[in-house]
Amino acid sequence: MTTTDTPPIQARGLHKTFRGGAAVHDVSFTVSSGRVVGLLGPNGAGKTTTIRMLLGLAAPDSGDSLVHGRPYREWPRPLQVVGTVLDAGGLHPGRTGRQHLQVAAAQAQVAADRIDEVLAEVDMTAAADRPINGYSLGMRQRIALATALLATPQVLILDEPSNGLDPAGMHWLRQRMRAFADAGGAVLLSSHVLSDVKQIADDIVVIAGGRVVADLPLADAVASHDGDLERFYLELTDGRAGVR
């Protein structure tokens, strides 16, 4: 895994407004190599919009974002740089898990034998040839995670990756993220589950009302409120409507 001086993820003054009034204002933060950063905030706070701007899926009105020093769109093979879980993976219900990964492998230009490796890693080998419409939410999430890991990326950007995972799955996910970061990777983890974030994150960025209201090491946040991350979070976000 490559570790350079350039932070793997940089958001710099991201600003975007929508016709409905929701917006993201001047969002800036950095995710360094070897760190897991928890992106926290109420529903509609702007977490997903921020992630979409990082990944070139939405264009900011101003500001920019870089992945290992380059805008995401400028990477020739971006899936080999960033693995992503968004929208439960965009799985077509008529395909099997393996077929979904075959499409993803063709997109990422990785060898087909990698598919079996990631299926084994997310413990989905036995169900790989069943149609996705028969999968539970947790199984879909495992296939989405397998897709993110397929091209052995250096950065993981995960939006609510633990949705639907059973305790064993959540335990595996936490260990996998930790190992990924310890090997020099960078993880941006958007989640509502504070207990998960508390167990895995090194740093947290809290977004409320479309603005970054906290960006600090998790240990500092927890220490400032007698070990209570929930109280820290609620004090920051209380009274700030998620949908602006």
Contact residues toward another protein (CB under 8 A) are 52, 55-59, 72-73, 75, 78-79, 82, 84, 86-95, 99, 102-104, 106-108, 147
* Cβ-based nearer residue to another protein, 108 or 194: 108
Minimal CA–CA distance to 205: which of 237, 231, 179, 239? 237
Q: At its nearest, how many Å lie between another protein and the CB of residue 95?
A: 5
Give the whole-angstrom CA distance, residue 88 versus residue 93. Answer: 12
CB of 129 to another protein, least distance (A): 12
Strand partners, 64: 12
Tell me how far, at minimum, the Cβ of 240 lies from another protein, in Å: 24
Residue 84 CB, nearest distance to another protein (Å)?
A: 6
Burial class for 232, CB neighbours closer than 10 Å (0-12, 13-18, 19+)? buried
Judged by beta carbon, residue 52 or residue 211, the one nearer another protein is: 52
| Residue 91 and residue 132 in contact, taking contact as beta carbons nearer than 8 Å | yes
Q: Which is nearer to another protein, 71 or 227 (CB)?
A: 71
**Helix and strand totals (H; E) in the chain:** 8, 9
Residue 146 tokens, joined: 């397998």
CB of 58 to another protein, least distance (A): 4
The smaller minimum CB distance to another protein, of residues 55 and 213, is found at 55
Phi and psi (nearest 5°) for 33?
A: -60, 140
CB nearer another protein, residue 8 or residue 197: 8
